[in-house]
Structures are given as C-alpha cells and as structure tokens.
C-alpha cells in the first residue's frame, strides 16, 4: 500500500503529522480536567505530554495491528485538536477512532470536519470495512459528533467500564464503508 501523503487539507483545516513542538499546544487542552473527563487518562502533565507526542511522532500509518494513524488538526496555523485511527483487530479491516479538541473551538465544526476526513482515510486509503467509536455515555458532544458524521449508535453498554472512580456507560457507534458517501471521502 502506498504511503498516505500528509498533510490532508479540508475546507478549513490542515491535518498533519505530529511534530516535537506540538507538546505545548496539545498540553493546552489535554491538561484541562473537562477535556480529560471522558478520555482514558488523567489531565496531562508536561512529562506525559512529552511521552505521548514522542510516541505519536511515528504514528503516521497503519502498517500492522499495533500501528496508529494520528494527525494534528490545525486551523489558521494553530493546533485545535487531534484525531487518531487504529486497527480494531488483527485483520486491519476494522478501525477505531478517537479525538480531542480544544474547548475554545467547540461549536465551530472543526471536530466534525477532521473526523470526516479521517473516516475517509480509513475507507479510501486503508480499505477498512468498518469504523467504530467508543464514547463515554456522558459525553453528549462526542455522541452528537458521531451522529453528524453518519455513524449509527449500535450499542449502549450500561455501566460496563470503571473510569476515574465510577462505573460509566459506553456508547458504540459504527459506520460501514458502503454507508460512507463517496463524495465526502478524503484520501
């Protein structure tokens, strides 16, 4: 498979590979307890941000079950969020998405635009059959995002995960390649 050419340009965003100088921009939102509330980590420290960015510097292609495709979303030259796609199984035919965006850009459609682009990469470039997102049941904004990009809520798992001191529900959203409009693929 040919390597995906980065950056990916959408109407308003540049989706590019991580760079070492992204630490401060990512720390600006991942250190926020409100952003960290629904993700698996506590708010990021500087040390943790350095480690994550170092790992993601090489997360530029899905080449095997442990590989990741991770991009930073920039608007007007500023990092506004990031999106990650990883294989959901060893066949690489199913992918899972995760994302986070700076609260200052909430409501501007940047997350929707970036996630749509990465879904396009999953289907058009990596040839995936299916893409899913696991969303904390309390995270209404991410659930709405899944629906905006055409994902279908396939499951509501009640109190299935112990997260940050409490049992939480998980919503599973899925999208099949044949449900993805070819006109919006971005690969």
Q: How much is the pLDDT for 185?
A: 42
Nearest to 6 by CA among 87, 67, 74, 78: 74
Q: How much is the pLDDT for 187?
A: 39
**Cα 15 → chain centroid:** 12
Strand order in the sheet with 166-176: 8-9, 14-16, 69-75, 78-87, 94-101, 130-136, 166-176, 152-163
Q: What secondary structure letter does DSSP report for 182?
A: G
pTM of the model: 0.94
Q: Report the chain's terminal Cα–Cα distance, integer Å.
A: 13
**Sequence-ordered list of residues with C-beta below 8 angstroms from that of 179, at least 6 positions apart, any chain:** 150, 152
How far from 64 is each of 53, 109, 133, 173, CA to CA, in Å?
A: 20, 31, 19, 23
Q: How much is the pLDDT for 183?
A: 37
- Kindly list the averaged pLDDT for each block of 10 residues, start to end, along the chain of length 187: 87 98 98 95 96 96 95 98 96 97 97 98 97 97 97 98 94 97 49
């Amino acid at each position: 498979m040919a390597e995906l050419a980065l950056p990916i340009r959408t109407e308003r965003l540049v989706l590019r590979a991580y760079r070492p100088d992204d630490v401060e921009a990512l720390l600006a939102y991942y250190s926020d307890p409100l952003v960290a509330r629904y993700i698996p980590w506590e708010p990021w420290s500087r040390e943790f941000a350095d480690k994550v960015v170092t790992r993601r510097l090489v997360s530029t292609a899905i080449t095997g079950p442990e590989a990741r495709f991770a991009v930073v979303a920039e608007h007007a030259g500023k990092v506004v969020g990031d999106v990650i796609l990883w294989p959901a199984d060893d066949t690489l035919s199913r992918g899972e998405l995760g994302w986070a965006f700076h609260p200052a850009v909430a409501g501007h459609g940047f997350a929707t635009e970036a996630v749509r682009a990465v879904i396009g990469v999953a289907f058009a470039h990596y040839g995936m059959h299916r893409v899913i997102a696991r969303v904390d049941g309390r995270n209404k904004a991410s659930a709405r995002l899944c629906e905006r990009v055409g994902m279908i809520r396939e499951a509501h798992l009640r109190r299935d995960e112990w997260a940050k001191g409490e049992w939480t529900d998980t919503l599973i959203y899925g999208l099949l390649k044949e449900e993805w409009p070819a006109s919006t693929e971005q690969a």
